[in-house]
Amino acid sequence: MKNAAEQKNTKFARPVLFGTGAALATLLLLSLLLAALFSGAGLSASVFTPAAVAMLVVAALFGGIFSARIAKAKGLPVGLATGIVLALLILIMNIIILHNGFGLFLLAKIMLIVISATIGGIIGVNIMNKRKL
C-alpha cells in the first residue's frame, strides 16, 4: 500500500511525464509537417529557425495543456515542471547532437519552452470539459 507522499508524487509525476511525451509527439508531427513544407513549397532557409522556435513553443504549450488536463488541478506547477523537463531534454539533445554550447539563443529557447508550457498548464486546468456525460 502506498503512503500519502508516494501517492502525491505519483499524482504529480504522471501528468508531467505524459505531458512531456505529448509535447515530444507534437514536436515530431510539426517537424514532419515543416519538412514537407520545405521540400514541397521550396521555402527559403531563412524561415527555418523562426519556424523551429515556433514549433517548440506550440509543442510546449500543448504539453502543458495535456499535463494539466491529466492532473485536473495545480496547472501552473504541473505546466512548469513539464516545461522544465522538456527544456532539459531539448538542452541535452542540443548539446549531444548539435555539439553547440550554451549560448544566448539556446537560453531564449529554453525560457520560451518553460513559459509556454506553464501558460499551457494554466490554460489546461481552466478549459471546461464540453462533453456532458
132 assigned to some structural domain: no
133 assigned to some structural domain: no
4 assigned to some structural domain: no
80 assigned to some structural domain: yes
Provide the whole-model pTM.
Answer: 0.85
120 assigned to some structural domain: yes
The answer to whether residue 1 scores a pLDDT higher than 60 is: no
40 assigned to some structural domain: yes
Q: What's the average model confidence in pLDDT over 46-70? A: 92
- Could you give the number of structural domains in the chain? 1
109 assigned to some structural domain: yes
Structural domain containing residue 84? 11-126
The pLDDT tens digits of the residues spanning 2-20 come to: 566 556 666 788 999 999 9
12: left (phi over 0), alpha (psi -120 to 50) or beta: alpha
Give the DSSP letter string of 17-40.
Answer: HHHHHHHHHHHHHHHHHHHHHHHH
96 assigned to some structural domain: yes
